[in-house]
Amino acid sequence: MQVPLRRVARQAGMSHGHLSKVERGEHGRPITPTVLAAYEKVTGVSLAEAAAAIAEQRENVVGLRRRSWRPGQLTDMRRLAFNAAVGAIAIGGQIGEPLGRLIDTTGRPVSPIAPDPCDVDQLTQVGELLTTLDTRYGGAMTSQLAKTILRWAIPMIEPASMYDPDHQPLHNALGIITARAAWSAVDTGSHEAARSLFRLALFCAVRAGDPHLRAHVIADAAAHHNHLGYYADALDLIRIVEGDERVAAPVRRLLHSVKARAYAAAGETNSCRRHLILAQQAHQEPAPLDPPWVKTLRNPAHLYAAAGHALADLTQHDSTAETHAAAVEHLTGAISLYATSEHARALGLCRARLAALHLTTGNLDSGEEAARQALPNLANVRSARLARALGAVRRAAAQHPDHEPMATLTTDIDAALTTLEQPYSG
C-alpha cells in the first residue's frame, strides 16, 4: 500500500522528518499510540490485528529465520553454542563479547501502548522504592534508576496532551517518580537535568489532578532555587500555589519551610520567623485522609530539620544568642528524631550543619563531635549536597589551625572528600 508519509505526518500532527526517523527505528524515536493511530487512520488497516496475524503466521512456520526458541524451531548449532557458552562461563570463562553489547541484544524497552491498572500499581511501588533509596543512600543511583524507568514509561502518556480522567492514576504515579528523579538530580549536582525533570513532574501532577503533588513539586523546585542562591525566584514559585486551599497541611508546612529558608538567607528576619510559625501550625493540624506519600511528610523530624537549617541561615544576619540557640535546638531535635537507617542523608546534613554552626561560634568540642558523627554518613551516602555541607565544616575548622583537634579534623575531612567516589551526574 503506497501512502505518502506527509499525509500520515499531517494526521499525527508531527513532522515528516520525525516520522521518517520513527520508521527507520532510530534511537529516541518511539512508536507511540499517536503514531499508530495516525497510520491506522490513513491506511484503514488495524495495525494490532495485522501484527497478530503476522505473529500467528510465524507460529506456523517451523524454524523461520532460524531464530525462534520455541520447541522444535531452534537449530542444533544455536543450541550447542549456547550450551557450550553456559559451560564455559560456569567454570570461570569469559562471556566472549562486551557486556554492554550483550545487553543491547535483548532489545529496546517496550512500554505498553494501553497501560493496565497493574502497570500503574507497579509504577506506584517503584516510586515508593525510589523514595526509600534516595533518603537512605542519596541521589546518585536513584537518579539513574528513575530516569531509566521514565524512559520506559513516558511513551505511555506522551500522546495524552488533553485532560483525561482515565489517565490520572498513571500521571500521578509518573509524577511521583519524576519528582523524586528531579530531587535526586539536585542531590547529585545535576542542576540542568533537575530543571527538566521538575517541568515534567509538574506536567504530570497537573494532568493527574493532584493539588498536593503539584504544590510539592513547586516547593521542591523552589528549594532548588534556594540551594543555588536564587531566593527571590524561590519565593516567586511558591506564590503560584500558596493560595490553593486544597493543598494538604503537610505540603503547606513544606511550602512555609522553603519560604522561611529563602527569607532567612535574604536576611529578612521577621518574615523568616513568621513562616516558621506557620509551618509549625500546619504541622499541628489534624491529619485527614491524605494520600500515602503525603503522610510521610508528617514526620516531625522534617519540621525540626527545616526550621534548624532556616535558623542556621538566619544566624548569618542575626547573630544573637537566641537565634543561635534556637538553630542548635532544632537541628539537635531533628538528629534525635531521624531514624538512621531511613534518613541517612537528612541525618548527615543536620549533623554537618550543626557542626559548622558550633565551629563558627567557637564551640570547638561540640563542633568536632557533630562533624565526627557526620563523616560516616558521607561514606555511606552518595550526595553532592552532603559533600558540600562537610566542605563548609572543613572551612570552619580550618579557621583554627593552631588547635590540634581542628587540624586533625580538617585532614580527616580532606581525606574523606578526596577518596569519595563522585556521585553519578547527568
Q: For residue range 285-316, what is the model confidence (pLDDT) as tens digits?
A: 987 777 888 888 989 999 999 999 999 999 99
Is the per-residue pLDDT at 49 higher than 70? no
Residue 402 has pLDDT above 60, yes or no: yes
Q: Is residue 394 part of a domain?
A: no
Task: Give residue-wise pLDDT tens across range 155-213.
Answer: 888 765 556 777 899 999 999 999 999 999 999 999 999 999 999 999 999 999 999 99
> For position 341, what pLDDT does the model report?
65
Q: pLDDT category, 426, cuts 50, 70, 90?
A: very low
- Taking only the tens place, the pLDDT of each residue in 88-115 is 889 988 887 888 888 888 877 777 767 7
CB atoms within 10 A of CB 188: 25
Mean of pLDDT over the chain: 86
For residue 69, the model assigns a pLDDT of: 59
pLDDT at 63 over 70: no
- Amino acid at residue number 344: A
Residue 13 belongs to a domain: yes
Q: State the pLDDT confidence band at 53, using cuts at 50, 70 and 90.
A: low
- Name the pLDDT band for 282 (thresholds 50, 70, 90): very high
Gap between the Cα atoms of 137 and 378, Å rounded: 10
Q: What is the pLDDT of residue 216?
A: 97
Give the side-chain half-sphere CA count within 13 A for 87. Answer: 6
Mind giving me the DSSP string for 184-232?
A: HHHHTT-HHHHHHHHHHHHHHHHHHT-HHHHHHHHHHHHHHHHHHT-HH
Amino acid at 128: E
Number of structural domains in the chain: 1
- Give me the domain span that covers residue 1: 1-69
Write down the pLDDT at residue 70. Answer: 64
Please give the share of the chain, as a percent, with pLDDT higher than 90.
57
Residue 127 lies in a domain: no
Task: Write the CATH number for 18.
Answer: 1.10.260
Q: How far apart are the first and last CA of the chain?
A: 44
Q: Could you tell me if residue 38 is inside a domain?
A: yes
As a whole number of angstroms, the distance between CA 372 and CA 335 comes to 14
Domain assignment present for residue 51? The answer is yes
Exposed e or buried b for every residue in 197-222, given b needs 16+ CB within 10 A?
bbebbbbbbbbbebbbbbbbbbbbbb
**Is the residue at 41 inside a domain?**
yes
Say if 309 falls within a structural domain. Answer: no
User: In this structure, is residue 59 part of a structural domain?
Assistant: yes
Proportion of the chain above pLDDT 70, given as a percent? 86
